[in-house]
Amino acid sequence: MRANDPSNKIFYKGRSDDFIVFVEDAATLKKWKNDPSIPLSDVVNGWKIFVTHKHGSQGVLDGASKASLENEFGTANVEECVRKILEGGELQGYTQRERGGDTNIRNGPQVMLP
């Protein structure tokens, strides 16, 4: 996936911190909310919960510790926490900025000539 492709995330504003989970797409999330028998693995894009340290949905993303999950959700079980975030969070779409870089390093100063 290119860096500038649109993506979706769920933003959950908690009591002690803000949490983010990335999802595959909005349509799959909507289907899951109507039919919880759909596996969560089809909904989420990776089993990682992020925290933004109360900086909203645009803050720096760090992995959520078991202690922060336990404090907010009453459990450190990632699957249960993801479920609560998906149910109580807000879907947000975003596009990352395109990655820059050399497309042909032979055209730049990085190549040393013999």
**Domain range annotation of the chain:** 8-93
DSSP character string of 13-48? E-SS-EEEEEES-HHHHHHHHH-TTS-HHHHBSSS-
pLDDT category at 80 given cuts 50, 70, 90 is very high
Tokens of 89: 């969070």
The alpha carbon torsion through 10, 58, 65, 39 (nearest 10 deg) reads 20
Mean pLDDT, the chain, as a whole number?
82
Residue type at 112? M
- What span, in angstroms and rounded, lies between the C-alpha atoms of 39 and 41? 5
- What span, in angstroms and rounded, lies between the C-alpha atoms of 35 and 43? 12
DSSP three-state, residue 1 = coil
Under CATH, which number does the domain 8-93 receive? 3.30.1250.10
Output the pTM of the full model.
0.74
Q: What is the pLDDT of residues 1-43, one digit of tens each?
A: 445 556 789 999 999 899 999 998 888 999 999 998 889 989 9
